[in-house]
Each structure stands twice: as C-alpha cells, then as structure tokens.
Amino acid sequence: MIVKLGGSVITDKSKKFTVKCSVLRRLARELASYTGPSVVIHGGGSFGHPVAAKYGIADGYKSKGQLMGLSLTHQAMERLNSYVIQAFQGAGIPAIPMQPSACTVVSGGRIKSMEITPIKGMLDLGITPVLYGDAVPDEKKGISILSGDQIVVYLAKKLDSPRVVLGVDVDGVFAANPKKEEEPMLVKKITLADRKLVDLLGTAGSDDVTGGMKKKVEELLELAKQGVEAEIVNATKPNFLKKAVNGESGLGTIICRR
C-alpha cells in the first residue's frame, strides 16, 4: 500500500512551519489499523512550499543564492518529516525516514532512477519507510523540486502496489475549485479517456510549487496506465483514511484505467 498525506492536511498552510499535531496523530492511528506493508509519502505544506517558492527552486538553477534556498527547503522538509515520524511511532508504527534527495537521480524535474533496495528491505522487516517531497540536484536544471506525488507513482510501479491512497483536504477532484465555488461538482471517477477534464483543473495555490490537484491527477493517470487504481480522499474527515487504506472505495475520486 502506498499512502500520500497531503501537506495541506498535516500543516496549516496559512502559517509557516505550523503542524496540525492533533490531525497528524489521528491520521497515524488510522494508518496503524492497516496491517500490511506500507510506504508513506507526505507533502510539504507550510514547510517546504513557501521556502522553495521564495528561492525559485522549481525553476531550476539561476544564481548561487538558490543553493542556500535548496538547503533551507530540504531542512524544512526534514523538520516536517520528524513530526510525522514521531506521530507514527506514537501510534505504534515502526517508521523510518527516507531522504529522497539522497537516493534519487532527477533529470528535468523527473525521476530518472531511485535506489529502492533499502525500501524493500524495510518492508520485508515490517518497517514503514516515510518519504517526502524534496529539493534535489537535477541533471538538466541544476536544481528542482521532486514532488511527493511523483514519488508515489514511481514507487507504486516499482513495488507493484495494488492500490494507492492520497489524503487531501477536500472531498476529491472537483470540476471547479471547491474552496471558491458554492456548489462545485465532485468527480467520482477519472479515467484515461478524461483528458479534457484534467486540462480544466487548476493548481492548489500560489505557494504550491508542485502543481496542485491537476498535477496529482496527471501523475496518477500515468499509474492508471499500469492498471493500478488510486483514490483521492478527504483525510481531514475522521476515519476516511482508515476506510480507504483498509480497502473501502468510492470515498472520494477514483483514478483508474477505464
């Protein structure tokens, strides 16, 4: 099972470097209900995104001053990751952090390769590896942002994951922005044939350096080509994540082949 915890779920994006501690502890308890092997990836929220946006990390290397930005962005993500690990351990999950920038080769903003042998070893032992979106060196751009969503898809393919669950702060994918429109239409399923719908989706916000909901869906459709189903659910609602990781579907938006 590959699980992604959105940064907007576990942090307060209106306040820099602010964790929603009670929410994170609840999500850890819900994940603890799943007894199979799992990998968890989390987003940057109010930790990584503002710093990366300030230094233009996603735009590639332009000046030496960005190198400090790269360092600070990574440090911010490590800080957030430590909160996640602590919450998981408190819920009885033997979690260990995995630094994406130390095991991933990125070229043009895309994963070229990733050393996953340690991840497999942890899973065999019953340990839960926890990765995160990271600021990374890039073979073509010099530096870039490796999104958690891209890591989700890569690992799901390499580990032959049967199902992927993404926890976000809305009920799924909407035809319009649910935070701005009064009655937006929830899209219950998106398939490879729904390309036009995906093109209409917007981004999560000005500080989101990884493309928001549109980019999430685009990444998951690549996974759907391999026959792997993913579901985007509202993890701010108690027990939704618990139900999703334990096999219940139809809770949000399903991304599948057809």
Kindly list the averaged pLDDT for each block of 10 residues, start to end, along the chain of length 258: 96 95 98 97 95 96 97 98 98 98 97 98 98 97 96 96 94 76 82 80 51 83 92 97 96 93
**What pLDDT score was predicted for residue 209?**
52
The CA-based diameter of the chain, rounded to the nearest angstrom, is 49
Burial of residue 78, with CB atoms counted within 10 A of its CB: 0-12 exposed, 13-18 middle, 19 or more buried: middle
For 65, the domain range is 2-255
Residue 74: what pLDDT?
97
pLDDT for 63: 97
Q: Look at the block and give the residue holding tokens 């990751």.
A: 81
pLDDT value, residue 177: 65
Name residue 60's amino acid.
G
**What is the pLDDT at residue 205?**
45
Q: Domain holding 246: CATH number?
A: 3.40.1160.10
CB 228 within 8 A of CB 162: yes
In this prediction, residue 258 carries a pLDDT of 86
Reduce the DSSP state of residue 43 to 3 states and report it. coil
Give the model's pLDDT for residue 175: 76
Token pair recorded at residue 164: 């992927």
- 17-26 LR contacts (CB < 8 Å, sep 24+): 17/46, 17/47, 17/76, 17/79, 18/46, 19/80, 19/83, 21/83, 21/87, 23/236, 24/83, 24/84, 24/87, 25/87, 25/90, 25/91, 26/238
Query: What is the structure's pLDDT at 203?
Result: 47
User: Residue 194 has what pLDDT?
Assistant: 85
What residues contact 63, with CB distance under 8 A and at least 6 apart?
none
Domain count, the chain: 1
What's the predicted TM-score (pTM) here? Answer: 0.92
- Provide the pLDDT for residue 202: 54
Instruction: Compute the distance between CA of residue 34 and CA of residue 90 in angstroms, rounded to an integer.
Output: 15
Helix (H, G, I), strand (E, B), or coil: what is residue 201?
Answer: coil
